[in-house]
Amino acid sequence: MVEDQLIGRGISDPKVLKAFMNVRRHRFVPPSFAADAYADHPLPIGHGQTISQPYMVALMTESLRLKGGEKVLEVGTGSGYQAAILAEICGQVCTIEREADLLENAKRILSKEGYKNIDFRCGDGTRGIEEAAPFDGIIVTAGAPLVPETLKLQLAEGGRLVIPVGGMFGQMLVAVQRKGDEFTEENICGCVFVPLIGEYGWPERG
């Protein structure tokens, strides 16, 4: 997976590659999909949600430009796999998920895997986590209609926010960087994520 899917497609940050070597992805997928855990695509994790393709997790992580030891917020815990990758590199990871069952499952797996630097929250991550801000990095693993201002304002000086932005069925992966009160945006690539549902995301359907 690391050689073919990540290095082969240009992922080069040694911290990111090392994190992928350390995290056992098969622990984060439902048992019925264990044989496909390292395949080059997303997999279902229940509640209509997915664990993202390994390359997309690597690209988003690399796009945060982490040096190591930072405090990072992840919106959309899902399986917990992205949180584990971040926890390998960062000092502190805060992860927030709106589906309580998914959060509990991720918490159980991450605790079994030995991670002690992850803070779990259940709720609407489009609001960020005001009391834990500022964050050196914020990664949103669901697709938003727009970049939520709340999240931009919870970035530390020089911090980066990586987020898929666009329609319900296709988005652009965008990196936002804070410099004082100014925010610059850079398009990374097209992507397809499940919707970010919440106050500053998409409305809940039905």
As annotated, the active-site residues are 52
The size of the interface with ligand SAM (CB under 6 A), counted in residues, is 26
- Beta carbon nearer to ligand SAM, 137 or 198: 198
- Beta carbon nearer to ligand SAM, 70 or 99: 99
- Beta carbon nearer to ligand SAM, 31 or 180: 31
- Beta carbon nearer to ligand SAM, 5 or 79: 79
Give the DSSP letter string of the chain: -IIIIIGGGT---HHHHHHHHHS-GGGGS-GGGGGGTTSSS-EEEETTEEEPPHHHHHHHHHHT---SS-EEEEE--TTSHHHHHHHHH-SEEEEEES-HHHHHHHHHHHHHTT--SEEEEES-GGG--GGG--EEEEEE-SBBSS--HHHHHTEEEEEEEEEEEE-SS-EEEEEEEEETTEEEEEEEEEE---B-BSTTSBPPP-
Is residue 124 a contact residue for ligand SAM (CB under 6 A)? yes
The residue from 97, 152, 171, 191 that contacts ligand SAM (CB under 6 A) is 97
The residue from 102, 133, 161, 176 that contacts ligand SAM (CB under 6 A) is 102
The residue from 125, 159, 164, 166 that contacts ligand SAM (CB under 6 A) is 125
> What's the N-to-C CA distance of the chain in angstroms?
39
Q: Which stretch binds ligand SAM (CB under 6 A): 2-10, 11-19, 119-127, 168-176?
A: 119-127
The residue from 16, 23, 70, 78 that contacts ligand SAM (CB under 6 A) is 78
Q: Which stretch binds ligand SAM (CB under 6 A): 6-14, 33-41, 173-181, 193-201?
A: 193-201
Q: Which of residues 22-51 bind ligand SAM (CB under 6 A)?
A: 49-51
- In a 13 Å sphere around the CA of 140, the CA atoms on its Cβ side amount to 39
